[in-house]
Chains A and B, each alone.
Chain A
Amino acid sequence: MKASLNIRRSAPERWERYEVPFEPGQTVLDGLRWIRVHHDPGLAIRFSCINANACKECMIQVDGKTVYACTTRLAEREMRLEPLPNKALVKDLVTEIAAPDERL
Chain B
Amino acid sequence: MQTDVLVIGSGGAGMYAALAAAREGARVLLVDRSLIGRGGATVMAQMTVAVAVGEEEPDHWEHHLADTLKAGRGLCDPALSQLLCEDGPECIRQMDAWGVGWAQSNGHLAQVHAPGHDRKRCVYVDFLNTGPAVSKTLRARVQRTPEIRRVGDLLVTELAIEDSRCTGAHTVHLPTGEAVPIAAKATIVATGGLTRLYARNSGSLNMGGDGYALALQAGAQLVDMEFVQFFPIGHLAPRLVGMDPIMWDPFRYKLGGRLLNSGMHEFLPEEGRYTSARDLATYAILKEVEAGRGSPHGGAWLSFRHCSEAELRAAFGPVIDRLAANGIDLTRQAIEVAPIAHYHMGGVRVDADMRTGVPHLFAAGEAVGGANGANRLSGNAITEALTFGRRAGQRAAALAKATAMPVVKAQGFNGSRPDLNPAAEIAALQAVMNRDVGPLRSAAGLERALRHVDAPSFELPAPGPGLDPEWIDLHDLSSMRLVARCVARAALARTESRGAHQREDFPQTSDAWQKHQSVSREG
**Do the beta carbons of A101 and B423 come within 8 Å of each other?**
no
Which of B214-222, B253-261, B463-471, B513-521 lines the interface with chain A? B463-471
With the chains together, A70 CA to B242 CA distance in Å?
A: 7
Residues in A whose Cβ lies below 8 Å from that of B232: none
Main secondary structure of the interface of B (DSSP, over half): loop
Residues in B whose Cβ lies below 8 Å from that of A49: 39, 43-44, 204-205, 244
Residues in B whose Cβ lies below 8 Å from that of A104: 151, 153-154, 173, 180
Residues in B whose Cβ lies below 8 Å from that of A96: 175
* Chain B residue at minimum C-beta to C-beta distance from A97: B35
B469 to chain A, nearest CB (A): 5
Q: Does A41 interact with chain B (Cβ within 8 Å)? A: yes
A97 to chain B, nearest CB (A): 7
Residues in B whose Cβ lies below 8 Å from that of A37: 421, 423-424, 427
Residues in B whose Cβ lies below 8 Å from that of A57: 34-35, 38-39
With the chains together, A3 CA to B153 CA distance in Å?
A: 31
What 1/0 mask marks residues of chain A from 4 to 34 whose CB sits below 8 Å from any chain B CB?
Answer: 0000000100000000000111110000010
Q: Does A56 interact with chain B (Cβ within 8 Å)? A: yes
**Do the beta carbons of A44 and B421 come within 8 Å of each other?**
no
**Do the beta carbons of A53 and B151 come within 8 Å of each other?**
no
**Do the beta carbons of A98 and B424 come within 8 Å of each other?**
no
B residues 16-59 near A (Cβ < 8 Å) are: 34-36, 38-39, 43-44
Q: Does A50 interact with chain B (Cβ within 8 Å)? A: yes
Q: Does B239 interact with chain A (Cβ within 8 Å)? A: yes
A residues 58-99 near B (Cβ < 8 Å) are: 68, 70-71, 73, 90-91, 94, 96-99
**Do the beta carbons of A41 and B423 come within 8 Å of each other?**
yes
Contacts A41-B422, A52-B243, A70-B241; is A102 near B35 (CB within 8 Å)?
yes
Contacts A37-B427, A70-B242, A91-B466; is A55 near B173 (CB within 8 Å)?
no
Q: Does B150 interact with chain A (Cβ within 8 Å)? A: yes
Residues in A whose Cβ lies below 8 Å from that of B245: 51-52
A103 to chain B, nearest CB (A): 7
B428 to chain A, nearest CB (A): 9
Residues in B whose Cβ lies below 8 Å from that of A99: 36
**Do the beta carbons of A47 and B205 come within 8 Å of each other?**
yes
B34 to chain A, nearest CB (A): 5
Q: Does B380 interact with chain A (Cβ within 8 Å)? A: no
B326 to chain A, nearest CB (A): 8
* Chain B residue at minimum C-beta to C-beta distance from A49: B204
**Do the beta carbons of A43 and B467 come within 8 Å of each other?**
no
Residues in B whose Cβ lies below 8 Å from that of A73: 241
**Do the beta carbons of A44 and B469 come within 8 Å of each other?**
yes
**Do the beta carbons of B469 and A27 come within 8 Å of each other?**
no
With the chains together, A37 CA to B427 CA distance in Å?
A: 7
Contacts A54-B244, A103-B152; is A98 near B36 (CB within 8 Å)?
yes
* Chain A residue at minimum C-beta to C-beta distance from B238: A25
Q: Does B473 interact with chain A (Cβ within 8 Å)? A: yes
With the chains together, A27 CA to B422 CA distance in Å?
A: 22
* Chain A residue at minimum C-beta to C-beta distance from B180: A104
**Do the beta carbons of A41 and B243 come within 8 Å of each other?**
no
Residues in B whose Cβ lies below 8 Å from that of A36: 423, 469
Contacts A36-B423, A55-B43, A57-B35; is A71 near B242 (CB within 8 Å)?
yes
Partner pick for A98 among B131, B152, B205, CB 8 A cutoff: B152
B residues 78-94 near A (Cβ < 8 Å) are: none
**Do the beta carbons of B469 and A43 come within 8 Å of each other?**
yes
Contacts A26-B239, A102-B150; is A48 near B206 (CB within 8 Å)?
yes
Residues in B whose Cβ lies below 8 Å from that of A90: 175, 466-467
**Do the beta carbons of B241 and A71 come within 8 Å of each other?**
yes
Q: Does B132 interact with chain A (Cβ within 8 Å)? A: yes
B residues 380-435 near A (Cβ < 8 Å) are: 421-424, 427
The listed residue with most A CB atoms (<10 A of its CB), out of B132, B152, B240, B423, is B423
Residues in B whose Cβ lies below 8 Å from that of A44: 467, 469
**Do the beta carbons of B44 and A54 come within 8 Å of each other?**
yes
A25 to chain B, nearest CB (A): 3
With the chains together, A23 CA to B241 CA distance in Å?
A: 13
* Chain B residue at minimum C-beta to C-beta distance from A101: B150
With the chains together, A45 CA to B421 CA distance in Å?
A: 16
**Do the beta carbons of B467 and A91 come within 8 Å of each other?**
yes
Q: 10 interchain pairs (CB within 8 A)?
A: A25-B241, A37-B427, A48-B38, A49-B204, A49-B205, A55-B38, A90-B175, A91-B466, A96-B175, A104-B180
> Top 6 closest A-B pairs, CB basis?
A25-B239, A52-B244, A53-B242, A41-B423, A91-B467, A71-B242
17 A-B pairs besides A42-B470, A53-B243 with CB distance below 8 A are A24-B239, A37-B424, A37-B427, A41-B421, A41-B469, A43-B469, A44-B469, A48-B34, A52-B44, A52-B242, A54-B131, A55-B38, A91-B469, A96-B175, A98-B36, A98-B153, A102-B151
